[in-house]
Structure 1
Amino acid sequence: MDDKGEIQKALFNYIKQQLPVNLSLVHEVSELLELSYDSTYRRLRLEKALTLDEALILIKHFQCPLELLMKNELNLLTFQHFCVAPEQFDKHQWIDFIYARLKLICKAQKKQIIYAAKDPPIFQYFQFPEIASFKFYFWEKTLFHSKKLDGKTFSLDKMDPDVVEKCRKIAALSLQIPTVEIWNEDTFTILLRQIEYHWVSGYFDTKDDLLQLLNSIELWLYHNQKQAELGMKFLYGHEPHGLKNSYTLYENEIVLNDNSIFISEDNKSSAHITYNVLGLLASSNDNFCHNVASLHQTLISKSNLISQVAEKERNRFFNKLHAKVKQFKELHELSKFDG
């Protein structure tokens, strides 16, 4: 078989893998290309070559990585990306993108997310409006220099109710996806450093806004500690109820994480890396996914499992994080205002 036939065969094999079991390959291709079943079968059997236009229609619709068709002979790697451009960050658009991606993952019968967390995963704190609102303020004002925030301070009285509701929906949806998270102390302390920068810079509206935010962070830590104890994610403020073994937490003490994410969905997988803080690059390339998955397994092998087991180590880890919040309050003379 010539190279063109091999490429066509690889394309159809990829499409077949992407289709749910209840959909017919010949039907889907014939509908997209507006061909009869007979003409479609001749292309599937490689008796007739796809035209360039036909191939492009299929590649675009099924988002086929080009390196898959080229057998990676040129050592190329293509990514899907969600670009976050400075001064053009749209938090509603970004939230909608995350929500849509989670909905797709939830459709899979077998699914899992592995997260090497450099920053606290958004699914963790999106149940807490104070934390989510601060993070959006931080991203927009400090990182993306949003002109609409020029001269504006952070106030919990100005939380966007639409953003709060969307964040809660994302958090609720994420409970359906078993997750493995790899943390270290810096995963949490980076959040405190961001808060301190904004406090020292005069970006908080009042001291009470800062105190409420820190109190919310402590509640989040207690909630996450309980999730780790049970090995199950559940909604804050509710009785623990959810998927068993849906939350696995590791503490890594020797390597700084990189926010890489590995997602498994039935018979396919994808790896995601972040850039420009909130931008995402995603690839389903087998070699790339294998490399990311291998790194995660190496990190896990060098980490301490602190969910469901190792109560002493789990308590030690979270006590250190609570102590950091307490120290922050004392340093900035907030303890006397607390409760």
Structure 2
Amino acid sequence: MMLVQEMIIERFRGSVPKTKSVIQHLADVLEISYDAAYRRIQGKAKLDIEESMKLAKVGQFSLDQIMTAQQDLTALGSATDTINSIESLEKYFKDMETNLKAAGKDDVEWIYSAKDIPVFHHFNDSLLGRFKIYVWLHLLDDTMEGKRFADFHLPLSIKEQIKINKSLFEQFKRVEIWNDTTISSSLQQIHFYHEAGYIDHDTAKVLCNDLRELLKNASADLLQESYSIYYHELLLMSNNAVVRKKGIPVAGFVTMTMLGYIRFSGSNILNRMNEFFKHQIRQSTSIKDSSLKERSIFFNKMEQKINALEKSLERFNL
């Protein structure tokens, strides 16, 4: 079994530029001599807490993950705070910024099982983006009961926060696994709130067009090296996610409530989740690498579902 100090050194080693000596880089970071750094790498001298924190900060890895690496606990992790108001939702978005920054920038890959369209696609100024936040709060905040969408307005602070989060998230390599039901939640929400009288017919039509625009943007983003969609016909999606750094899983996110999740870093459980994701990707079709025809079929299926919803809206409006 690898000792904690060995794991810290190993993770730090993975962050050292190929053009630089590991021993010298460690010596520079800890501000110690070359010989003292060598002794720590060999395990002949112990790293203290402050030194470990410095290595984790520079190497952009989590000491949590190191300290829990040998544990096999399914409930190991930290849960998001309860969301039941506009204020707690804003805190949720602010905490999201903190977590995204903690992941660092270099060689970070986010793999997401998209039961619903991932939230970051909605972090913009579109009417659909505001509607999704309205729906989340309508389901979580008792004071929203009976409040129509036309009377719901986002604070400027939240608008600014979600733009920050979107910008941070787009620094990562993003891999999303979709299936034929990924778009269904958004379609059902538009349908429900229209029939319930919370949104009018014209608003519902704009939301449908915004959904089309979202898919158009996702298709265009596939031209970027940093973004991929995989299509899995059979997998039941979960909205769970794994974050990998330099190919190594460093954090897992398991959904707990509609927006809430448990974040964990114990490597035994994390590695099992990562292997599951890798297996599902192998069984999926890469939309990014598909032919133009196959890619068009993928997005046309969702376009047809939007068309069907619009026809339903028209019949209801007669």
TM-score, structure 1 normalization: 0.72
Helix, strand or coil for the counterpart of 1:187?
coil
Name the residue aligned to 1:238. none
Relative to structure 1, the CA distance from residue 225 to residue 47 in structure 2 (aligned partners, 3 Å threshold; closer, same or farther) is: closer
Gaps of 5+ in 1: 31-35, 233-244
| Structure 1: 4+ residue segments shifted above 6 A | 17-30, 43-50, 54-59, 334-337
Does 2:299 align with 1:302? no
Report deviation, 1:46.
Answer: 8.0
Contact residue 111 and residue 174 of structure 2 kept, 8 A: yes
Helix, strand or coil for the counterpart of 1:120?
coil
Residues of 1 paired with 2:242 and 2:156: CA distance?
31
Counterparts of 1:57-206 in structure 2, within 5 Å, are: 64-65=63-64, 69=67, 72=70, 75-76=72-73, 79-85=76-82, 87=84, 90-108=88-106, 110-142=107-139, 144-147=140-143, 149-155=144-150, 158-204=153-199, 206=200
Query: Alpha-carbon deviations, 1:277-299, whole Å to 9, x = none?
Result: 21222223222222122111221
Query: Alpha-carbon deviations, 1:171-201, whole Å to 9, x = none?
Result: 2332221211110111111111122222222
Relative to structure 1, the CA distance from residue 215 to residue 161 in structure 2 (aligned partners, 3 Å threshold; closer, same or farther) is: farther
Report percent identity of matched pairs. 21
Q: Give the count of matched residue pairs.
A: 301
Name the residue aligned to 2:59. none
Residues of 1 paired with 2:308 and 2:172: CA distance?
35
How large is the Cα RMSD of the aligned pairs? 3.8
Report deviation, 1:18.
Answer: 9.9
Residues of 1 paired with 2:270 and 2:13: CA distance?
16
Aligned pair partner of 1:213 in 186, 199, 207: 207
Relative to structure 1, the CA distance from residue 158 to residue 17 in structure 2 (aligned partners, 3 Å threshold; closer, same or farther) is: same
Gaps of 5+ in 2: 57-61
Residues of 1 paired with 2:300 and 2:247: CA distance?
40
Residues of 2 paired with 1:279 and 1:336: CA distance?
36
Helix, strand or coil for the counterpart of 1:107?
coil
| Higher RCO (CA < 8 A, seq sep 6+) | 2
Q: Which amino acid aligns with 2:187?
A: L
Aligned pair partner of 2:245 in 265, 283, 298: 265
Residues of 2 paired with 1:336 and 1:26: CA distance?
71
Report deviation, 1:120.
Answer: 0.6
Helix, strand or coil for the counterpart of 2:110?
strand
TM-score, structure 2 normalization: 0.77
Relative to structure 1, the CA distance from residue 9 to residue 134 in structure 2 (aligned partners, 3 Å threshold; closer, same or farther) is: same
Relative to structure 1, the CA distance from residue 308 to residue 47 in structure 2 (aligned partners, 3 Å threshold; closer, same or farther) is: closer
